Amino acid sequence: MPTLTAQPSIVPPVGTKPKLIEEYAGRVATANENVSIARIVCPPGWAENGQQPEFAETKVVLKGMIQVEHKHGVLEVRTGQAVTSHPGEWVRYSTPEAEGAEYIAVCVPAFSPATVHRDSDDVL
């Protein structure tokens, strides 16, 4: 039988400014360790520490722009575009533009603070 998620679970954020994380599937919302799916709303000027996660993460930008720093440069991922980071790849995300960003994040396996491997506590 299909399982309804009537409302998302709110996950505590990290980064320089509060962002909204609404998890629809994953470790918090559904106790699913295989995949996590969340809607995330980041304010303008938000940034978080670099990370080198053990999971793949695809972000589909619904509104605004996410800046993705990586070992070889910087990507600007805009409305209607997506970006995938691969397990073991170093990335750092931010929303430097005035409108911030809204996106859907899908992590396989599911996001976990224990497997994200963030850089030190010093944010940008």
pLDDT digits (tens, 9 = 90+) for 8-63: 999 999 888 899 999 999 999 999 999 999 999 999 999 999 999 999 999 999 99
**Distance between alpha carbon 46 and the CA centroid of its chain, in Å?**
12
Residue 87: which CATH number? Answer: 2.60.120.10
pLDDT digits (tens, 9 = 90+) for 59-82: 999 999 999 999 999 999 999 999
Does residue 124 lie within any of the structural domains? no
Domain carrying residue 112: 9-116
Q: For the chain, what is the domain count?
A: 1
> Which pair of structure tokens corresponds to residue 65?
């722009």
Residues 6+ apart with CB under 8 A from 44: 95, 96, 97, 98, 99, 100
Does residue 4 lie within any of the structural domains? no
Q: Does residue 96 or residue 121 have the better pLDDT?
A: 96
Does residue 50 lie within any of the structural domains? yes
List the alpha helices (DSSP H) in 1-124: 113-116
DSSP element (H, E) containing 82:
strand 82-85
**What is the model's pTM?**
0.93
